[in-house]
């Protein structure tokens, strides 16, 4: 028991040190590290699906700026939400993404991720282009990450899959809901949708 606790302490310390080294890391290095970690988790046969889901979620929470993402998704509509609604929206939207992408965990089939290139987008944004390798050619899936720097750390604010931006796509869907029923309807719809998906197991 004692020994185990000591091990835990060492691991915690090591991850603190690793966390310290994170500051100032380039967007490309962050995406590379994140992709490698994701592939390691998904390919780990000793983990159950639930454990994988949790670890991937933690990885996403550490690297994605869900608040900025939520603001971008709602754009002008953001200010129509009260502060309490805004907080709830961020939480519900994050949950929705976790449910959506969580569905894919079981279909992982040893795909590897290759970071292709990265470039400055100006105004504090950076894009890192990656490819999920599935046999080459059109079978590969193009995934671009857009990162924004805040307090010396780069975090993901949009994911562009096969040239389709997640932020833009949700924006157009949410626009219609808010237009027809206001912010309250949007939160209702999100809540309902999340309840219908698999419940988040803890």
Partner 1 sequence: MVPLLAAVLVLSWAAAVCAAEDVDTERDPLECVNRKIFWFNDKLDVYVLAPVATGWEKVSPRRVRTSVSNFFGNLRFPIVTVNDLLQGKVKDSASDVGRFAVNTTVGVLGFFDPASGWGLVKHDEDFGQTLGVWGVPPGPYLVLPLLGPSDPRDATGFAVDYALSVTPFFIDEAILWGARVGDTVNERSFVLKQVEDAKASAFDYYTFVRNAYLQRRRALVRDLVEGSAEESEELYHPEFDLEEKP
Closest to 148 measured CA to CA, from 122, 120, 126, 167:
126
Cβ–Cβ < 8 Å for 158, 69? yes
Cβ–Cβ < 8 Å for 119, 146? no
**Burial group, residue 144, by CB count within 10 angstroms (0-12, 13-18, 19+):** buried
Residues numbered 33-72 forming contacts with partner 1, rule: CB under 8 A: 71-72
Angle of helix 66-74 versus helix 166-196 axis, rounded to 10: 100
193 binds partner 1 (CB under 8 A): yes
158 binds partner 1 (CB under 8 A): yes
Binding-site size, partner 1 (CB under 8 A): 42
Among 88, 91, 105, 175, binds partner 1 (CB under 8 A): 175
Compare residues 33 and 171 and give the one whose CB is closer to partner 1.
171
174 binds partner 1 (CB under 8 A): yes
Query: Which spans of this chain sit near partner 1 (rule: CB under 8 A)?
Result: 71-72, 75-76, 78-79, 83, 86, 96, 99-100, 103-104, 107, 121, 123, 125, 135-139, 146, 157-158, 162-165, 167-169, 171-177, 189, 193, 197
């Amino acid at each position: 028991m004692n020994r185990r606790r000591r091990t835990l302490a060492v691991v915690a310390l090591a991850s603190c040190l690793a966390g310290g080294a994170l500051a100032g890391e380039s967007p490309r290095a962050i995406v590379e590290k994140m992709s490698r970690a994701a592939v390691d988790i998904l390919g780990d046969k000793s983990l159950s699906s639930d454990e994988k889901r949790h670890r991937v979620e933690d990885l996403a929470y550490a690297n994605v700026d869900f608040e900025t993402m939520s603001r971008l998704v709602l754009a002008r509509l953001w200010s129509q939400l009260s502060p309490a609604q805004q907080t709830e929206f961020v939480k519900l939207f994050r949950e929705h993404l976790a449910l959506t992408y969580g569905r894919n965990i079981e279909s992982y089939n040893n795909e590897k991720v290759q970071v292709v290139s990265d470039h400055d987008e100006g105004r504090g944004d950076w894009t890192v282009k990656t490819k999920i390798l599935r046999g080459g050619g059109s079978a590969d899936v193009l995934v671009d990450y857009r990162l924004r720097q805040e307090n010396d750390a780069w975090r993901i604010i949009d994911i562009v899959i096969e040239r389709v931006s997640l932020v833009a796509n949700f924006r157009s869907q949410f626009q219609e809901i808010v237009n027809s029923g206001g912010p309250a309807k949007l939160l209702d719809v999100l809540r309902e949708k999340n309840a219908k998906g698999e419940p988040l197991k803890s």
